[in-house]
Amino acid sequence: RPLSFSPTGFYSSEKMTGLFAYESSDLDWCEDNYRHSEHIVEYFNTVKMYLSETTLQLLWTILYGHNDDRYSGQERGINVCPLPTGLFSAYFHMTLSFMGQMLDELSILWVLGLCYGLWFPRRLFPSFIKDRTTFSRLVMMITVVTTLCSFVKPTANAYLLNCFALHIIYSLGLEMRTCTDPKVLRLCWSAVGLWVLAISCWISDRFGCSFWQKLNFCYLHGIWHILIVMAVAYASTLIAYLDANYEIPYSLPSLQYWPNDNWVLGLPYIVLKGTTKTHKRF
């Protein structure tokens, strides 16, 4: 069970195959291993992961994917991100291999880095940073350093990723202090509420597994995946809306829900009512 690999051991082929071996990761979720298939370690976590990520991918493609003048290359590029993340996650739960774990966690880290660089509100930049390009470079540096550090103690990575979620919620809180639009506030509360439910499932699966095994219900990690994908869909719409509102206000962005504005868990999306060219300045 490799905890970390040293630079000297990296090239040994035996060690390399070991990194791909089934159950070579130190993580193991509550779901019974090999219960439904001899080739898939955690059947429900794998299948649900794949389904929920494909749904998110579909949503993002519908929301941001069309070849519209108003979206920059980076913004169009970022909408393909859920697919590799979903595939790596499914691969991780299928094998519980060390390589699967790292691919899964690092792909999430890099998507987060890209999103921070692209959408983090300019007003919340540290005072020594004047423009988005410098901010993006700083984020890129932090992402590279975090990537290297992730090999030191891989079991801590999942906790670190959840800390990013806390920082995003904190930043949204700062943004919401000056917001009076009920639609925006509602979207923020839905996203935070979904995240609280999701993280409760994650923690409960991690630390209360023996209890859930007694009840013969070991699927909380699968439920976490579904809830977190919903939370990401809500939060990314909110962040994209805030970004459009501050950076390209003349595009007249507004929030709507599909299929109906009154549905509690309708799907949020952004409508741009302005017709002029609305490229973001960098």
Interstrand relation of 253-258 and 267-272 (parallel, antiparallel or unpaired)? antiparallel
The string of DSSP letters for the chain reads --S---TTGGG-HHHHHHHHSTT-SS---SSPTTSS-SS-SSHHHHHHHHHHHHHHHHHHHHHH-S--TTS-HHHHHHTTTHHHHHHHHHHHHHH--HHHHHHHHHHHHHHHHHHHHHHS-GGGS-TT--SHHHHHHHHHHHHHHHHHHTTT-GGGHHHHHHHHHHHHHHHHHHHHTT---HHHHHHHHHHHHHHHHHHHHHHHHHH-HHHHHHTT---HHHHHHHHHHHHHHHHHHHHHHHHHHHH-GGG-EEEEEES-TT-TTPEEEEEE---S--PPP-
Residue ranges of the binding site for Ca(2+): 28-29, 31, 33, 42
Residue ranges of the binding site for Zn(2+): 93, 221, 225
Dihedral (C-alpha) 114, 228, 256, 185: value to the nearest 10 degrees? Answer: -90
Distance CA 4, CA 15 (A): 11
Residue ranges of the binding site: 28-29, 31, 33, 42, 93, 221, 225
